[in-house]
Amino acid sequence: MTTATHTSLTGDFLVGGIPRTGAGAPIVAIDPNTGSTLAPTFHHARTQDVRDATRIANDAFDTYRQTTSQGRAQFLDSIAENIIGLGDELIDRAAAESGLPRARLLGERGRTVGQLRLFAAVLREGSWNGARIDPAVPDREPLPRSDIRLRMVPLGPVVVFAASNFPLAFSVAGGDTASALAAGCPVIVKAHDAHPGTSELVARAISTAVAEHGLPEGTFSMLFGKGQTIGVELVTDPAVAAVGFTGSRGGGLALTRAAAEREVPIPVYAEMSSINPVVLLPGALRESAATLGTSFVQSLTMGAGQFCTNPGLVFAVVGAELGEFLNSAAAAVGAATGAAMLTPGIAEAYASGQRALREHADVDSVAAGRPGSSAYQGLPELLVTDAENFLAEPALHAEVFGATSLVVRCADLDQLHLAVNSLEGQLTATVHAAPVDHADARKLVTTLERKVGRILFNGWPTGVEVGHAMVHGGPFPATSDSRTTSVGSLAIDRFLRPVSYQDVPADLLPSAIADGNPDNIWRRVDGSLTQE
């Protein structure tokens, strides 16, 4: 293997704003397109690094959480500007470490910056405070009512585990970091070994913003290390108050157990596993079976299928229209070329999961893609089975992280509903329905509300809009807490908790619940929303 160089990278992680050369196991990034290693060599952190990072985060908490909403908003805007300021250096390094195309990474950088600016806007708007005021009623009978006010306050230092499949948007400055910083929580990121250079560049952009705004050094740190060791040490450190995680079910469950077994348990918001079922109702198939087949494969193969919303499962009723869909999808899969997987390990796991599904006695392969030129690649594949087999065999419900999907042929709509109802919790479910299908779709939506975090119609699940109404979450095992989302403005709620203030003197009240509404935010006063 040859080694590429990158002159501005140091191979350091950051404890506060201070670069630190690790003394643990070495990490060398690999270009999955060429198989080349990428300089410099990074190293895992040690226990002392963890202790230092959590200590200074805890020391920073009271100062950082008392910054104004406007001050934190400006801080998030500065991080966004600093990331943009990294220019081609960031995009080039992310492309080399991930094998993802430049256009995809430019879009991902835009999403990363957009998330930071979204939370800056949330802070300025103010409803995140959850401000409520129940004024005193001294003459109420039989007992007077005290003056009681409520606002949300930050939990404390948050550990964020970066994802492998989004080196920017779900990584060092991704949604978990942005929402935690917005809430007023210092953040310690455990960066992903797959893209250490990208992580260093973004971490430096955040640390620069910390210094620019005169914030305490413990506001942000970034470490490298294995989840089983450094990750568990971070999660179990008494200073840590919450965890954000995107990754495998095994990794998420291990961290959730570790957090639950602490002397003081803490929440772990883990996004873990989803196969994102697609339901093709008969009317939709009659109208556009061939078109649906082609567009389905476009979604399936996007980013080599390495999205948490990859459509890995399709349900439809047997008939000529389903045959037309399968023919169209098979042709599109057969014309597709294998694309680079993010890491050698992900490529190996994909091939193993794909092989297990293909070789199952009750599964038939319809089509497979053509080999490409990447050193570590995954070939797309389309497989089929019958609903009786799917209902009887739990192995057919397993996630295969990559561009492989299983079509489940159902005898009728009753069997289709039964198969959908057998699913575990998912991030998304997609329904393709013509107007004639709406009666059946209504019943399906009732089922899906119990199964998923996002229901979408006549589209595809890949692509998650960052906004106020988005839910990127779902029932277990999609996430560890179905009440939350890791994308969109509601993500800030994960890192806040309510505090009531009863008969507190007016001059001691926080501004969000002070008399006269000095922050000019919407508040629920005596049960009614008002800005007065």
Euclidean distance between CA atoms 234 and 54, whole angstroms: 8
The DSSP output letter for 137 is: B
Q: Catalytic site residues?
A: 271, 308
Q: Confirm if 487 and 470 have CB atoms less than 8 A apart.
A: yes
Q: Tell me the torsion sign for CA atoms 215, 217, 219, 220.
A: positive
Distances (CA, A) of 190 to 53, 54, 222, 232, 493: 11, 12, 6, 11, 21
Which residues have a Cβ under 8 Å from the Cβ of 265 and sit 6 or more positions away? 259
Q: Confirm if 32 and 343 have CB atoms less than 8 A apart.
A: yes
Nearest to 399 by CA among 244, 305, 273: 273
For residue 216, give the amino acid letter.
P
Euclidean distance between CA atoms 425 and 454, whole angstroms: 11
Q: What is the Cα Rg of the chain in Å?
A: 25
Euclidean distance between CA atoms 367 and 382, whole angstroms: 5
Using CB atoms within 10 A of its CB, is residue 265 exposed (0-12), middle (13-18) or buried (19+)? Answer: exposed
Angle separating helix axes 438-448 and 413-421, nearest 10 degrees: 20
Structure tokens, 370: 């053509």
Q: Is 403 strand, coil or helix? A: coil
Nearest to 193 by CA among 22, 430, 72: 22
The partner residues of 13 in beta bridges, in order of sequence, read: 20
DSSP states of 281-349: -HHHHHHHHHHHHHHHHHHHHGGGG-STT---EEEEE-SHHHHHHHHHHHHHHHH-B-EE-SSHHHHHH
Structure tokens, 330: 């098979």
Distances (CA, A) of 62 to 137, 186, 240, 500, 520: 34, 10, 14, 18, 24
Nearest to 160 by CA among 113, 76, 115, 227: 227
